[in-house]
Structure 1
Amino acid sequence: MELIEPSSGKTSSPKDLLPAVPFRKKRQGRLGAILRFPFKTRRRRWFTFGVILVLLILIALPATAGVYLFFQVRGFPALGSELNNAIKDQDLPRIETALGAVDSQLAKVETAFSGMFVFRLVPLVGDYYRDGMHALKAARLAVDTGEEIVTVLRPYQETLGLVQGFGSQITVEQRLQNLLDTLPPLADKLDLVWTNIPLIKEEIQGINPSRYPEDFRGIRIRFWLSEAQNILDETAPIISRGREILEIAPALLGSPKRTYLVLFQNAAELRPTGGFITGFSLLTIKGGTVLANDFHSGAYFADHYPPELGFSPPKPLSKYLNVGKWHFQDSNYSPDFPTTARTILAAWKKSPLPKVSGVVALNTAVAADLLNLSGPIRIPGYDLDLANTGLPEDCLKGERNFTSGNLICRLEFYVEKAPRSSRGTEARKKILDLISDAVIKKISNSSAEIWPRLVDFIFKNLDQKNLMIYAAAEREQKLISDFGYAGEVRESTGDYLYVNDSNFGGLKTNLYMQETVEQSLQELEDGIWRKTVKIRYYNPVPYDGWLSGYYKDFVRIYVPQGSKLVSVDGAFQIWTYADTWSTGIQNPAGWKEFGKTVFGAYFAVVPQKEYFLTFVYDLPSSFAKAMKDSSEYQLLLQKQSGTNIGLVKVQIGDTIETVDLSQDREITIPLGR
């Protein structure tokens, strides 16, 4: 049979219509193979569509939430800036409004972020999602904490000057009094704060900063994450004892009234706790207000209690100062300030002088820093024209005013060199009394705007040991000690070094002395670590017989207990016993104080010539074992109050670390670097 094709008019047979290749079933895609069900085709199609729709929703939800989150997060910088400015202005109502705005915006971000929950299951991306959860939880805790603080402070906002424009109407003196009256009731109302701060720290510590770029669109992401973690670490000890601080602070600040013995230490003539005690004052405070500041020269104590400290001075004092009596002005022989304070108080209690609640030590750096805070002051009778006196350049600046730059030199001038006709000779040391009274009065009468700077001033000088405190009350002293403000020799588990210089007869050379310390460690064949401590001294100012002279120094180095002295280079005399010296090493084990081994040396430095003093000693075997177990080198460097030491360098193997010894420093160096 033939068929006629209509289009062509040609004929063909049925076999011509068969396919040219064998029949094959169309290959199914991967999705089709997966979704092969024994249902009708229509049902299978609907099921496939449903699965795809679910997948699209799962993708679209977090994507939409991500876009929404982006726009919500963009609003935070402006809100954060407003909150920061409100805090700086100490305006509580404005702080409350700013916190409310942050709270509202944070709630939107939390909602947006919750829509991205699916990302927690995605490899790698899940880590960032969890970081985000930590950050949001920390932010929520922080906002809740801030709102709680605002609620607690609201009844006291006018009393504390926390209302716009009101702070400028309240003096520092008034604000302190109001604050001390307010602290005790506040201590019991801040339970949420004491609870939340550790939780905030825990959430922030859960974020890994190394996962983030150094910089993203001008924001230093990694830096600020690390900074937040560091700040929380540093403030954790204070926050954890916040209630105790609020309970004790009023008593420390004179509520009820109390009197402190304040020692004025001249760091230009360096001594173990900061300087020669040139004078002292009996500072009486009540409610943060100075009621009396009775200043006396160092000799005043001897006039009222001739026995002074009542027993023979330590051997280095008697030898190098040629004294047979331990005078009040030399009482700060111990480098551990609580020990010095207890020595002074033991004699003080026997004297007819007023009872004191504690001892505060200030060195000359505090006085100079105070003038940065208060501004220049002029004292009648101590305002000579010094233009043609031949004084050092730093003495001549500031015209007739005392400034932070010329204070120390001018104090020395009026105490030691003032003309006989000047008022400064009639009561030379009275100048310290006049200056301290003038500064206290100026700061007390300042507006409360100076408050943040005053707080910074106090903590800066506590950290740098220019200001040290000893409280007679045990609970108060423990709190001061725990925060590191007692000026004591600290405990350590690793290596330790405390270089303590005493200027015994070297004029005021520490005004100019430059001092650096280099340390190097070498492992010996028997596994013991040998350490070399090289101290460089240099006075760039020519001898003048007044300030710059031949520097006579008795130095003690405190090292880990059990260390053995190998050699000392540069010493005139070597002290390996607390009361005996020699020209050689008599006792390699040194003597023991405060859980440390101590080695001493005496030497002298000529102006404008470098001098090096070098100690070589072996660290104890326990130290070598600890280093091996931990695979790292740990060192605690303690700063002496008033020290001239600037940079300290540590070398172990090929690794060198350099630190500025403006305060105690801890160094950790991984071994094998």
Structure 2
Amino acid sequence: MVRMSSQEELSSDSSSGLVGAAALLLTLGGVLLWLVMLSGPVKLGTGLLEASSHLDDAQQTLSEGRFRPAVYQTFAAKAGAAKAREGFDSNSPLMDLVTLVPQVNDAMGELDHVLAGASHATEAASGTLEIGLSALRGPDRIIGPDPDGDGSIILLDRIEELGGVVAEVRRDINAAGDEFAAIDLARLPKRVHEDIRDGIEQARETDEVLADAEAGFELLPGILGGNGPRTYMLGFQNSAELRGSGGAMLQFEFLTIDNGKAELAEETGSIYKLDRKRQTIDIPLPDDAWYVAGIEDAQRFGNSNWSPDWPLSARLAVDYGRASAERCVTRGDNACPEFPHLDGVLAIDPVVVRNLLPGIGPYAQGAFFIKRSTVVDTLLNKAYARFPLPFERRGYLGRFVSKFFEKMFDPERPTELVQAMGRSLGNKNMQINMADPAEQAFVERMKWDGSIARADSGDYFQVVEQNVGGNKLDYFAAQVNRMNISIDGRDARHSTSIEVGNNVVLPQPRWFLGDSKAAHRPMLNLYVPPDAELISADAGELCPGPLDRRCNGRIDAPPGLATWTGGTPPEHSEGGKKVWSGTLQIPPDETGSFDAEYLAPNAVVEREGRNVYRLMVQRQAKFHPERLLVQLKLPAGASDIQAPGFKKDGRRLTVDRRLMSDTVLEVSWRS
């Protein structure tokens, strides 16, 4: 289902991008209109103008999710392009007359490419519109009633048909780009050259999007059980109690899809159906499983996702789950769920629920009415007050998750559901790991895998929090990453401060506050390039024991993993990165910080005569997205500075943003 939605995103966000690229290509004809409007046939000039204008309008309406107005605009654009071609091919005396002027004749000779590109661009827009209109709505939509019973089914034949439409759209986009690439710029005024080059680049970028779509449509039938039943595990993470991959995993479901029909297993739900009495289990661990190896309570099914590398955390969850199922003993009505062969593991957090509800529609669930504006508060906070007994709360959350997934596969507004899934994947609130190598390669290509980025060069930064206080205070916590970076030759010197505020509102239910009560205890882990050199670090004074919850400072918890030696934090390697760790204790209404000064060697490279500094910043999917403040100081003598996304003040560049997704900041200059 997730893969289906990501490909169908062509009907919304991606579709508007395709039409936008087509519109940009087409408007290149407009730079020549001063010729044809003065002396060419009226059909040629007005046709190009109409086609360009209507495609612009189609792009706007599609980006807003309004398909009906886009129908008129797209067909009007096609009519305009046809009118322009008819005018150009006419035997008008005016056309003969205009060619007597050498400069104008040269430009008119290139109009044939413009018109051919216009025709292909409008055909591409028509194909895009067909996907948007019929994929998720109308009688030919890919989700339809199950002919063998209740509920809905994904129509695999229709998916294959739409894959063919995507291939046609891609051919038209390529053909449009080829036509504009064939234009002889020497025959045109210099002022139009940049526009034409931009149009060709837009066609190339659109082709990359369509290449992803084609690859996805080829894999989609198999993922949806077209070649036999598929089974996936859905892990529901609680981002109020952060773990590396997003949150403590409290609920799980097994989803089977057979020839497009999705069913949830009845015996799943709370992770404590397998984690009986939180008993740990001994299994072989990979080298990068540093957190799990060092924390005994992490050595079980529902608490093994401490690594921010989702492929690793997913693998550990499966291994622990299977080992726990083999050890499980049924007692009375407390049956042991079977742990099947899995074709994939998906991580989902409450923000995904909020994102998807406009497509699913509001509904009643026990004591609460589930709607977008309140669902996250219900799941992460209010449920602890409404159901103070753990078994009652787990039962309610289990029923909630099961009903939510059922409704997700039979949505009221599929288009909005698809758009929201795309956002959830891009923001890492939803992460995917597949067993099939080809399918996993596609997930990685789309950057849906939630992995630690493997960067061969440049700089890297990620802060991963592990909540070690046994509480849910990440629901209230706020994090700010302050990075002061100075370029020194080929190196980058960092002075970084990670600030966490404990904004808890008291009183709170007992099970919400947990072991540390109102004191927040975040273990902060700073991921940097593997050759980074630590200069100094500070996380406040060590809180004395026995631990006073009023102390604002550093604590050595978990023992060993966060124990400092002589003012130096512990260090380990994971995912090709170096990691420094420190745990803070922060009383209510106070802020704590973990500061580090370090050197990132060889972070600056030379490319085509320019110095290039590239910083990859990865995001942990927190309920409150962390704030990123970057101040970059370039060396003296830096000139011709290019810094997209930065505010510039001489050699000093700044970025201030909410970190909603993984991002790359790149600056280049000449010495």
2:473 alignment partner in structure 1: 509
2:385 alignment partner in structure 1: 417
2:375 alignment partner in structure 1: 407
* Paired letter, 2:441: K
Identify which of 640, 647, 652 aligns with 2:620.
640
What is the rounded CA distance, in whole Å, between the counterparts of 1:99 and 1:347 in structure 2?
A: 57
What is the rounded CA distance, in whole Å, between the counterparts of 2:136 and 2:470 in structure 1?
A: 50
Q: Quick check: 1:277 aligned with 2:255? A: no
Identify which of 322, 332, 353 aligns with 1:367.
353
Superposed CA deviations along residues 380-400 of structure 1, whole A, max 9, x for unmatched, are 3x24xxxxxxxxxxxxxxxxx
Alpha-carbon offset, residue 341 of structure 1:
1.1
Please list, as runs of the form range in 1=range in 2, the aligned pairs for 1:183-194 lying within 5 A after superposition. Answer: 183-184=159-160, 187=163, 192-194=168-170
What is the rounded CA distance, in whole Å, between the counterparts of 2:100 and 2:354 in structure 1?
A: 58
Alpha-carbon offset, residue 145 of structure 1:
3.9
Question: TM-score, structure 2 length as denominator?
Answer: 0.71
* Paired letter, 2:532: S
Assess, with a 3 A threshold, how the Cα gap between structure 1 residues 67 and 83 changes in structure 2: closer, same or farther.
same
Q: Which moved more, 1:493-502 or 1:232-241?
A: 232-241
Please list, as runs of the form range in 1=range in 2, the aligned pairs for 1:116-515 lying within 5 A after superposition. Answer: 122=103, 136-145=115-124, 166=139, 171=144, 177=153, 179-184=155-160, 187=163, 192-201=168-177, 235-255=206-226, 256-294=228-266, 295-303=268-276, 308=281, 310=283, 323=296, 326-350=299-323, 351-352=325-326, 353-380=339-366, 382-383=367-368, 401-412=369-380, 415-418=383-386, 427-442=392-407, 444-446=409-411, 450-492=413-455, 493-505=457-469, 507-515=471-479
2:22 alignment partner in structure 1: none
* Paired letter, 1:138: G
Structure 2: unaligned runs, 5 residues or longer: 1-33, 327-338, 541-553, 634-651
What is the rounded CA distance, in whole Å, between the counterparts of 2:177 and 2:526 in structure 1?
A: 38
What is the rounded CA distance, in whole Å, between the counterparts of 2:582 and 2:154 in structure 1?
A: 52
What is the rounded CA distance, in whole Å, between the counterparts of 1:472 and 1:66 in structure 2?
A: 61
**Is the Cα–Cα contact under 8 Å of residues 171 and 446 in structure 1 kept in the other structure?**
no
**Is the Cα–Cα contact under 8 Å of residues 349 and 429 in structure 2 kept in the other structure?**
yes
What is the rounded CA distance, in whole Å, between the counterparts of 1:269 and 1:146 in structure 2?
A: 45
* Paired letter, 1:666: V
- Aligned pairs, how many? 569
SS at 2:573's partner residue? strand
Please list, as runs of the form range in 1=range in 2, the aligned pairs for 1:107-118 lying within 5 A after superposition. Answer: 107-108=85-86, 111=89
**Is the Cα–Cα contact under 8 Å of residues 645 and 661 in structure 1 kept in the other structure?**
yes
SS at 2:603's partner residue? helix
Q: Quick check: 1:604 aligned with 2:568? A: no
**Is the Cα–Cα contact under 8 Å of residues 497 and 636 in structure 1 kept in the other structure?**
yes
Q: Which moved more, 1:561-570 or 1:298-307?
A: 298-307
Superposed CA deviations along residues 434-454 of structure 1, whole A, max 9, x for unmatched, are 32343445455555xx22212
SS at 1:607's partner residue? coil
Assess, with a 3 A threshold, how the Cα gap between structure 1 residues 640 and 119 changes in structure 2: closer, same or farther.
farther
Q: Quick check: 1:520 aligned with 2:502? A: no
What is the rounded CA distance, in whole Å, between the counterparts of 1:361 and 1:119 in structure 2?
A: 68
1:70 alignment partner in structure 2: 45
Alpha-carbon offset, residue 347 of structure 1:
3.3
Assess, with a 3 A threshold, how the Cα gap between structure 1 residues 425 and 484 changes in structure 2: closer, same or farther.
closer
Assess, with a 3 A threshold, how the Cα gap between structure 1 residues 532 and 136 changes in structure 2: closer, same or farther.
farther
SS at 2:454's partner residue? coil
**Is the Cα–Cα contact under 8 Å of residues 616 and 665 in structure 2 kept in the other structure?**
yes
Alpha-carbon offset, residue 664 of structure 1:
0.9
Identify which of 93, 104, 125 aligns with 2:82.
104
Superposed CA deviations along residues 138-193 of structure 1, whole A, max 9, x for unmatched, are 32222344567899x99xx98x6876xx4799758789845422333664676544
Identify which of 653, 656, 659 aligns with 2:657.
659
What is the rounded CA distance, in whole Å, between the counterparts of 2:101 and 2:629 in structure 1?
A: 47
Alpha-carbon offset, residue 202 of structure 1:
6.0
Superposed CA deviations along residues 51-86 of structure 1, whole A, max 9, x for unmatched, are xxxxxxxx9988411765433334336754886779
Q: Name which one, 1 or 2, has greater alpha-carbon Rg.
A: 1
Alpha-carbon offset, residue 358 of structure 1:
0.8
What is the rounded CA distance, in whole Å, between the counterparts of 1:259 and 1:179 in structure 2?
A: 18
Assess, with a 3 A threshold, how the Cα gap between structure 1 residues 305 and 83 changes in structure 2: closer, same or farther.
same
* Paired letter, 2:474: N
SS at 1:662's partner residue? coil
Q: Which moved more, 1:599-608 or 1:643-652?
A: 643-652
Assess, with a 3 A threshold, how the Cα gap between structure 1 residues 446 and 478 changes in structure 2: closer, same or farther.
closer
SS at 1:555's partner residue? strand
What is the rounded CA distance, in whole Å, between the counterparts of 1:114 and 1:191 in structure 2?
A: 37
Q: Which moved more, 1:179-188 or 1:493-502?
A: 179-188
2:599 alignment partner in structure 1: 618
| RMSD over aligned Cα atoms | 4.7
What is the rounded CA distance, in whole Å, between the counterparts of 1:598 and 1:131 in structure 2?
A: 58
Alpha-carbon offset, residue 102 of structure 1:
4.3
Q: Which moved more, 1:185-194 or 1:652-661?
A: 185-194
SS at 1:268's partner residue? coil
